[in-house]
Structure 1
Amino acid sequence: MSLHVTDLRHAYGKRQVLRGVTFDVPDGVLAGVVGENGAGKTTLLRILSGELTPAGGAATRTGSLGYCPQQAVLNHQLTVAQHLRYFQVAYRLGDLRLAEELLDVLSFAQYRNERVSTLSGGTRQKLNLTLALMHDPDLVLLDEPYQGFDWDTYLRFWDLAQRLRRRGRSVLVISHLAHDADRLDTLHRLEAGTLQPGTETLRGQ
C-alpha cells in the first residue's frame, strides 16, 4: 500500500477543516480527490506531503514521494537545465536520463536553456511536474497538475499518468473538477472536510 489515510482530522482554531478522512491509494492505482474551494483539499495535501501535522488520525506512506504543488516553486533567474541539475543533486541522481525523457514527453526540451522568467505559465507547470517526477517516485501527489496546459499537453499529461500507473507507481490527483473521472481508477469527493459515501468509482465498474 503506497498511501494509507486513517481518520484524518484537522482544525484552524474552531473551524474544523478535516473531519475524519479515510482512504487508501494502493500500488499501481491512479486516484483522485475532488472538492470545491474550502472543502479541505489544501489541508489534506499539506498533511499527505508531510508539510503539516494533523490534529488527529494518520497518513502513512511507503517508498519515495514526488510532490507537484499547484504553485510552482521555481527560481525565475535559473534556466530549466539549471533547475534539473539542482534537483539532480538534491535527489542524488546519477544521471538526468529520466528528466530528459520527461522533457520530451511533455514537449518542452527546446526551452532547456531558457530562464524561468521567460517561460509561459504552462511551460513553468511542465517544469514543475518534471521536477516532481524526475527521481521516479513510488507515490506522486499532484495538485491541479494540468493547470495552464493546452489540450495537447493535457493529453500528454494523462498519457504520462497512465505510464506511471502501468509501472506500478501510485498517483493521487487533487482537483476541484471531476470531469476526468473516467481516467481514474478511484475517485473520492471531499465536501466540508469529509469524504462523501457512494462517490468512489472504480475503473471497469
Structure 2
Amino acid sequence: MPTGPTPTPPPLLEARDIHKSYRSHRVLTGADLTVSPGELVAVVGENGAGKSTLLKVLAGTLTADSGEVRLAGTLGYCPQDPVLNAGLTVEQHLRYFAAAYRLPTLDRGDELLDILRYESYRDTAVGELSGGTRQKLNLTLSLLHDPDVLLLDEPYQGFDWETYLRFWDVVDDLRDRGKAVVIITHLVFEQDRFDLLADLTDGRITPRTASKEDHRAAL
C-alpha cells in the first residue's frame, strides 16, 4: 500500500508572543520560538538584549507579562551563573539532584563525569573548583534526568578546548536521541552546528540563517 509523507512531530517547545518588562524598560516585545525534536537552536544577542530573561521565561523561573510557553516532556535548565553550594562536594550535588528527580541511580551523572573528564573532582568541595569545572557540574546537573528539552545560557564559557569539544559530543548525542537544545549566547563560533540560528534584537527573535541541512547543501 502506498504511504503518505511522514507526519512532522509536534514541537517540544513553543513560545508565542512573549512580552516582559522591568518597570518602564521593555525587554521582550513579542518573542516567538519553536523547537522540534532533535533540533539545536542558538539565540544570539548583545549583552542586555534580554537573552537570560528569555531563557528564564522558557524555563518557567520567570513569569512573562503576556504570551504563552508550551513544553512537551521534561526540561533541563543550565543558567549562566551556577546555582551551587560551595560547601558541598560534586558527589553530594549529584546525590541531592538525583533525589530531587527521584532517580534510582547516578549512572547518568557518572557517565557525564567521565565524558567531561572531571571524575577526579568527585569528592572535592565546589568552593575549591575552578570556574570551568563548576560549569561542568552545572551542565551535568541540568542533564542528570536526561531531559527532553535542554536550555543553556552561555554554557561553554570557562571551558578549555578539549571540554568545549566534549560539550558538543554531549549535544550531538542529545540531538541523535530526539532531544531539543536551545543555547543562548552572545557569540557563535561554529554556525554550521546549528539547525536554527536566530538573533534576539529589540525584544524579538529573528531567524538569521537557513537550516543546517540547507547550509551543507550550499557548500
Question: Do they superpose with TM above 0.5?
Answer: yes
Hey, what does 1:16 align to over in structure 2? Answer: 26
Cα distance in structure 2, aligned partners of 1:149 and 1:126: 8
* Secondary structure in 2 matching 1:84: helix
Cα distance in structure 1, aligned partners of 2:125 and 2:188: 34
Structure 1 runs not aligned, ≥5 long: none
1:103 Cα offset (Å) = 0.3
Hey, what does 2:45 align to over in structure 1? Answer: 35
What is the percent sequence identity of the aligned residues?
53
| Pairs within 5 Å for 1:50-65 | 50-65=60-75
Match for residue 35 of structure 2 among 25, 32, 47: 25
Query: One-letter code of the match for 1:204?
Result: E
| Pairs within 5 Å for 1:1-205 | 1-196=11-206, 199-205=208-214
Tell me how many residue pairs correspond in the alignment.
204
Cα distance in structure 1, aligned partners of 2:20 and 2:89: 39
Aligned CA-pair RMSD: 1.0
Task: State whether residues 6 and 22 of structure 1, in contact with CA within 8 Å, keep that contact through their aligned partners in structure 2.
Answer: yes
* Secondary structure in 2 matching 1:201: coil
List per-residue Cα deviations over 1:45-100 (Å, max 9, x = no partner): 11001011111111111111100001001111111111111111001000011110
* Secondary structure in 1 matching 2:32: strand
Task: State whether residues 38 and 192 of structure 1, in contact with CA within 8 Å, keep that contact through their aligned partners in structure 2.
Answer: no
List per-residue Cα deviations over 1:141-172 (Å, max 9, x = no partner): 00001110000000100111011000111100
With the length of structure 2 as denominator, give the TM-score of the two structures. Answer: 0.91
Cα distance in structure 1, aligned partners of 2:181 and 2:205: 18
* Secondary structure in 2 matching 1:157: helix
Cα distance in structure 2, aligned partners of 1:176 and 1:60: 25
* Secondary structure in 2 matching 1:42: helix
Cα distance in structure 2, aligned partners of 1:128 and 1:178: 21
1:118 Cα offset (Å) = 1.1
Hey, what does 2:6 align to over in structure 1? Answer: none
Structure showing greater radius of gyration is 2
Structure 2 runs not aligned, ≥5 long: 1-10, 215-219
Query: One-letter code of the match for 2:210?
Result: T
Cα distance in structure 1, aligned partners of 2:75 and 2:174: 13
Cα distance in structure 2, aligned partners of 1:129 and 1:70: 10
Cα distance in structure 1, aligned partners of 2:47 and 2:81: 16
1:192 Cα offset (Å) = 1.9
Structure 1 moving runs of 4+ over 3 Å: none
Cα distance in structure 1, aligned partners of 2:159 and 2:44: 19
